[in-house]
Amino acid sequence: TTNFNDKSPGTNYQGSTDALKMTERFTLINPTTIKYEYTIEDPHTWTRPWSAEALVPRIPPPLFEFACHEQNYGLMNVVMGAQVREKEGGPAAAPGAER
């Protein structure tokens, strides 16, 4: 990811400049675990690139892309409602909804 600038909230990461570049990698470790790695580069802020990684649980489908739903707060309620119906033994989808 490039083109970070001061016009987007939360993009001034640790004093970074508009030269900031972030490279992300997602690796499926096993059926239930994903390794998330990222490398940060900004020659105007750091003397060399730095990286971090974390193991995260794999979320069963459906998985919605963040960019498509970042301001869709209603989506969270839809997902939570489906999870409650599943736990109660009911259908995950509303009656008549196609899967």
Mean pLDDT of successive 10-residue stretches along the chain, which has 99 residues: 68 73 93 94 91 91 65 72 84 54
> Is residue 67 located within the same domain as residue 22?
no
> Is residue 65 located within the same domain as residue 99?
yes
> Is residue 28 located within the same domain as residue 41?
yes
pLDDT at 48: 96
Segments forming the whole domain that contains residue 16: 1-58
> Is residue 46 located within the same domain as residue 94?
no
pLDDT at 99: 47
> Is residue 43 located within the same domain as residue 80?
no
**Can you give the pTM of this predicted structure?**
0.55
> Is residue 52 located within the same domain as residue 87?
no
Cis peptide before 9 (omega within 30 of 0): no
Give the C-alpha separation, 4 to 77, whole Å. 31
> Is residue 45 located within the same domain as residue 93?
no
- Extract the tokens encoding 94: 């509303």
pLDDT at 20: 85
> Is residue 81 located within the same domain as residue 70?
yes
C-alpha to C-alpha distances, 51 to 21, 22, 24, nearest whole angstrom: 12, 10, 10
Residue 18 contacts residue 11 (beta carbons within 8 Å): no
The DSSP bridge partners found for residue 38 are 24, 52
Q: How many domains, the chain?
A: 2
